[in-house]
Structure 1
Amino acid sequence: MTPADLLVVGTTARTLDPARPTATAIAVAGDRIVALDGEALALRGAGTEVIDLGGAVTTPGLVDGHMHPLFGAATFHGADLTSCLDLDDVRRMLADAAPGEDGWIVGWGLDHNVFGGGAPTNAVLEEVLPGRPVFLRLYDGHSAIASTEALRRAGVTGPRHFEQRSEVICDRAGVPTGMLLEHAAMELVQAVLPTVSDAVLRDRLREALSGMAATGLTGGCVMDAEAGALELFASYEENGDLPLRLRVAPWCMPGAEVGEVLDLQGRRGRRWSVEAVKFFMDGTVEGGTAWLEHPDCHGTGTEAFWRDPAAYTKAVQQLADARVQTVTHAIGDAAVRHVVEALEHVDTGGVRHRIEHLETLPWELVPRLVRSGLVASMQPVHAGFTKADHSDEWSTRLGAERADRAWVCRDIRDAGGYLVLGSDWPIATYDARTVLAHARLRRAPGTTDAPVAPEQALTGLMALEGMTSHAAYADGATDAGRIAVGYRADLTSFALDPVEAPADELAEAPIRLTVSSGMVTHRD
């Protein structure tokens, strides 16, 4: 028999294969698992690379179900504002911020809660950095604050109308306050920001993806193709392999031609491919753009991202008829309901369509969602931006009843649904161990914070499935998500058992080995 290229020994494997739940040795040839246990050991040859894991626990390779790697590399740079708890912290950070090209000061990760319940405006920017062009992205990625000078450079002097649900927030006199809601409004200022060279973007992307591999990730679902992502992925592969295998879903925005995203389907490189289309049904709770069945505490949240929701239904059904997977951002209860109604009776031809985020969900909608065949893709790590006592901006806007429905992961699993887990990086950390731990703890690991909706906690096995077998199911992959002969050689090896070990310990446990499609991308 042909010798293996790679032989992993000294491990206990949780295969997630009901026919063979455990293994102690794994043989890999090319990008496939070719043998297990004794049969694997027999494939050791002179050229076989043997890795002894010294007792580590190996699982199918982890996949992040929702990520934006190039968006993070391109835009989440400058002043890191994630640690700011109030406006005094923002003042200190901005005072120390170093200006970049053309005097621009950019920052990222600003929490809505720093405004203490008040409307976010650029007043603090004008106080600390008068006359300077400043652009700060809030942590949700759907809003930003621009200084008066930044708005001037972008030619923004008042309200604008957009095809999508987006807004330049203005005061009663029609003067912009600096707050920009959703993509189209933010793009007005982003268009005049200094550009980042492709060489720098490739370096940042390499750093981010290598960091992801070090936390055990072997692949990810990229939920955009913005900023020339496909071209950048292609140029990256001219000089090397991407550390992760990437499955890309370009955006289909209101007013766009469905044929444009259809034409992108099937475009691919060695380790990336376009295999889906991303829609937005709403925005975010904190920004007041989540589509809710009842208004939030400010009287907002009653509009869809698609001003004509019927146009979304037509577009998503057209793609379903073409047997193209759709993934739809739907955070509010009305948004989720609309997606379910749009797809629950459509002949999908076996394609598994997905709903992303589902941050607040009525109990009665859960079984309907499951019966529809839609896959839920959630990021319980985002609950780290909320508080169990509902004193945060997300909970305050929704009210206690809807906040109690936060990220109903366990309800979906108990109802028999498929649940994919992810980070939405750069919105939250890409560390896969933290994602797994947060899904079990419903709080940030390593803290004594009160858990958010603890009854929605997943078991260790459920959390692991959310980044392995359920992720493979969602993407229609019949040769992934398990450690089995003939399956893709995606492996993640933990220093401890990710199912049985305490979740707080899991978040800090070393990753001994990451193998993506047969390629060793990290070893400790």
Structure 2
Amino acid sequence: MSTADLIVMADRVHTMDGSEPVTAIAVTDGVITAVGDRAGARQWRGAGTEVIDLGPATVTPGLVDGHAHPVLGIGMTRGIDLSSVRTLDELRVALDAVPERGWLEGWGLDPNVFGTRPITSAPLPEDVPVFLRLFDAHSALVNQRALDLAGITGPREFPSGSGIVCDAGGRPTGHLLEMDALNLVHQLLPADDPASRRRRLLDLMRRMAATGLTAANAMDFEDDSLALFQALEADGDLPMRWRCAPFVMPDTDVRAVLEKQRLSGRRWRVEGAKFMIDGTVDGGTAWLDEPDTHGESTACFWPDPADYAEAVRVLAAAGVPIVTHAIGDAGIRYVLDTLEGLPRVSSVPHRIEHLETMPSGLVGRFRALDVTASMQPTHCTHYTRADHSDNWSRRLGKVRADRGFRARDLRDSGARLALGSDWPIAPYDPRGIIAAARLRRPAGAPGVDPVLPGQALTARMALEGYTTQAAAAAGLASSAGRIRPGFRADLAAFTLDPLTAGPDEFAESPVAITVVGGSVVHRT
């Protein structure tokens, strides 16, 4: 072999390949060209070779987030971070802030803050308009000033599953459900300036790379996504790779989605189409076989589910990988039924996101149909409770809550399981997510009871969800996700071993380096 551009050495290398013990990796032109031991690495060196010896660190393939919203997320995370708020008093304190550009904005609000009380604008200040996104990003809470500015005086009919929650007298409570309703107020918010959005997106990517992420699946490609990716790449390589799937809504022209499939850059590309078959359990907009305890979550996000199936058929026939958000049992079943009849044109498997509650009869269909299950462990560990006292569990009832977030059942059935964050719905740090997948509780919270601990993944399963399983989900099993000659030189190095360290400890493990395409994008 020719001399290497980069040699990375460490006491432990998890190749995810079942190979002999490896302590050295050679990289040339962005590709792994050799693996071996430190002694043998001398023959790979040339005058210009960079050698990085990480000592007792552990190297793994670069981690891949299965589900994130980078461009939508930088807009969603404006204002006050409310993700740590746990009580109404804490909410009032957090909102005692100076509004920016005339509005008080916030994000990440957990509906469990309201306990068993209705979610209303009662705790919000009234002297300025307020717009707060709840954690699921499918709902928002606004005050009377914001309702007045938007001209919202009562309930409205929407073609989608959107809604304006009203009290018994028909007066809006301030709780808005799904995009059509949110946008009545959101469109009034002051816009970000393009330079600020570029800075924030680049900063996000750098922070993600610093956690060991080398790639992610962007579950949107809307608005200014193209301009942002092109502008950042004009200034240099992105700190990580992105695979983007534009939204397909009931009113979307699928021809525009097909046109976007041709877009790409050095470290990003459009490949896929993102659908939603339902909303959320917390907001009462999921699609369940039976109504929730509020009599809600009974309908598909699409006014006519057959229109979803037809759009899927058109795009899949053109070779576009289908991605569908499906949370409720009825929604998951309908998506599987739709995918079952499709010919496989693309090498990239179709996939279903979230999968929050489903009966056992659906679990085995993922392997049978070669459909990727894509899940976010912290959706369970951050927003539900072992005793079912949380909003999600109360709405579903014990039977359906007990069959929630079935990550282990899916893996044991032989299904392909990709893991991710759904940032900004939950934090993007894969170390904490890997820990949560193993613990079924938040990392660093040993006093919290695990939620359905029988669904915990092993350490290796959790790491595979970010490496080998993630690569297979993107149709890249032969070129990514392992440390093997001929594979992408995407690497992450941790000071603790993710397969042997305690999950809580690994969640705090510093990342020594992150390498994308043979370039060091993060170094401690």
Scaled by the length of structure 1, what TM-score is found? 0.96
Q: Which moved more, 1:34-43 or 1:368-377?
A: 34-43
Unaligned runs of 5+ in 2: none
Return the alpha-carbon distance in structure 2 between the equivalents of residues 21 and 307 of structure 1.
55
CA contact (8 A) 1:163 1:255 kept: no
Return the alpha-carbon distance in structure 1 between the equivalents of residues 16 and 333 of structure 2.
32
CA contact (8 A) 1:14 1:21 kept: no
- After the TM superposition, which residues 315-326 of structure 1 pair with which residues of structure 2 at under 5 Å, given as runs? 315-326=311-322
Aligned residue pairs, count: 518
1:137 aligns with 2:133: yes
CA contact (8 A) 2:245 2:274 kept: yes
Q: Which residue of 2 aligns with 1:467?
A: 466
Return the alpha-carbon distance in structure 1 between the equivalents of residues 227 and 172 of structure 2.
35
| Amino acid aligned to 1:37 | G
CA contact (8 A) 2:10 2:59 kept: no
CA contact (8 A) 1:440 1:457 kept: yes
Q: Percent identity?
A: 53
1:285 aligns with 2:281: yes
Return the alpha-carbon distance in structure 1 between the equivalents of residues 211 and 485 of structure 2.
25
Return the alpha-carbon distance in structure 1 between the equivalents of residues 216 and 104 of structure 2.
31
Q: Which residue of 1 aligns with 2:251?
A: 255
1:303 aligns with 2:299: yes
Q: Which residue of 1 aligns with 2:62?
A: 61
User: How far did 1:256 drift?
Assistant: 1.4
Local SS of the residue matching 1:361: coil
User: How far did 1:184 drift?
Assistant: 1.6
User: How far did 1:385 drift?
Assistant: 0.9
1:15 aligns with 2:15: yes
Instruction: Say which of 395, 400, 403 aligns to 1:402.
Output: 400
User: How far did 1:158 drift?
Assistant: 3.0
Return the alpha-carbon distance in structure 1 between the equivalents of residues 182 and 236 of structure 2.
33
- After the TM superposition, which residues 169-318 of structure 1 pair with which residues of structure 2 at under 5 Å, given as runs? 169-318=165-314
| Amino acid aligned to 1:100 | E
Return the alpha-carbon distance in structure 1 between the equivalents of residues 143 and 236 of structure 2.
40
Local SS of the residue matching 2:234: coil
- The C-alpha deviation readout for 1:152-198, integer Å capped at 9, x for no partner, is 22233333333321112233443322111111211121111011111
- The C-alpha deviation readout for 1:197-216, integer Å capped at 9, x for no partner, is 11111111122111111111
User: How far did 1:356 drift?
Assistant: 0.1
CA contact (8 A) 1:7 1:41 kept: no
- After the TM superposition, which residues 344-423 of structure 1 pair with which residues of structure 2 at under 5 Å, given as runs? 344-349=340-345, 350-383=347-380, 384-423=382-421
Return the alpha-carbon distance in structure 1 between the equivalents of residues 120 and 90 of structure 2.
16
Please provide the CA RMSD for this pair: 1.4
Return the alpha-carbon distance in structure 2 between the equivalents of residues 49 and 161 of structure 1.
62
Q: Which residue of 1 aligns with 2:26?
A: 27
CA contact (8 A) 1:15 1:21 kept: no
CA contact (8 A) 1:87 1:115 kept: yes
- The C-alpha deviation readout for 1:326-350, integer Å capped at 9, x for no partner, is 1100011111111100011321134
Q: Which residue of 2 aligns with 1:429?
A: 427
User: How far did 1:82 drift?
Assistant: 1.7
Q: Which residue of 1 aligns with 2:4?
A: 4
1:335 aligns with 2:331: yes
User: How far did 1:21 drift?
Assistant: 5.0
User: How far did 1:40 drift?
Assistant: 4.6
Scaled by the length of structure 2, what TM-score is found? 0.96
CA contact (8 A) 2:76 2:424 kept: no
User: How far did 1:313 drift?
Assistant: 0.8
- The C-alpha deviation readout for 1:97-128, integer Å capped at 9, x for no partner, is 11111x21001111101112222121222xxx
Return the alpha-carbon distance in structure 2 between the equivalents of residues 162 and 323 of structure 1.
32
| Amino acid aligned to 1:454 | P
Return the alpha-carbon distance in structure 2 between the equivalents of residues 207 and 11 of structure 1.
31
Q: Which residue of 2 aligns with 1:122?
A: 121
- The C-alpha deviation readout for 1:305-362, integer Å capped at 9, x for no partner, is 1111111111112111111101100011111111100011321134300000001111
Return the alpha-carbon distance in structure 2 between the equivalents of residues 69 and 123 of structure 1.
32
Local SS of the residue matching 2:410: helix
CA contact (8 A) 2:10 2:58 kept: no
Q: Which residue of 2 aligns with 1:151?
A: 147
Return the alpha-carbon distance in structure 2 between the equivalents of residues 184 and 226 of structure 1.
16
Q: Which moved more, 1:165-174 or 1:452-461?
A: 165-174
Local SS of the residue matching 2:123: helix
Q: Which moved more, 1:216-225 or 1:176-185?
A: 176-185
Unaligned runs of 5+ in 1: none
CA contact (8 A) 1:27 1:41 kept: no
Q: 1:21 to 1:367 in 2, by over 3 A?
A: farther
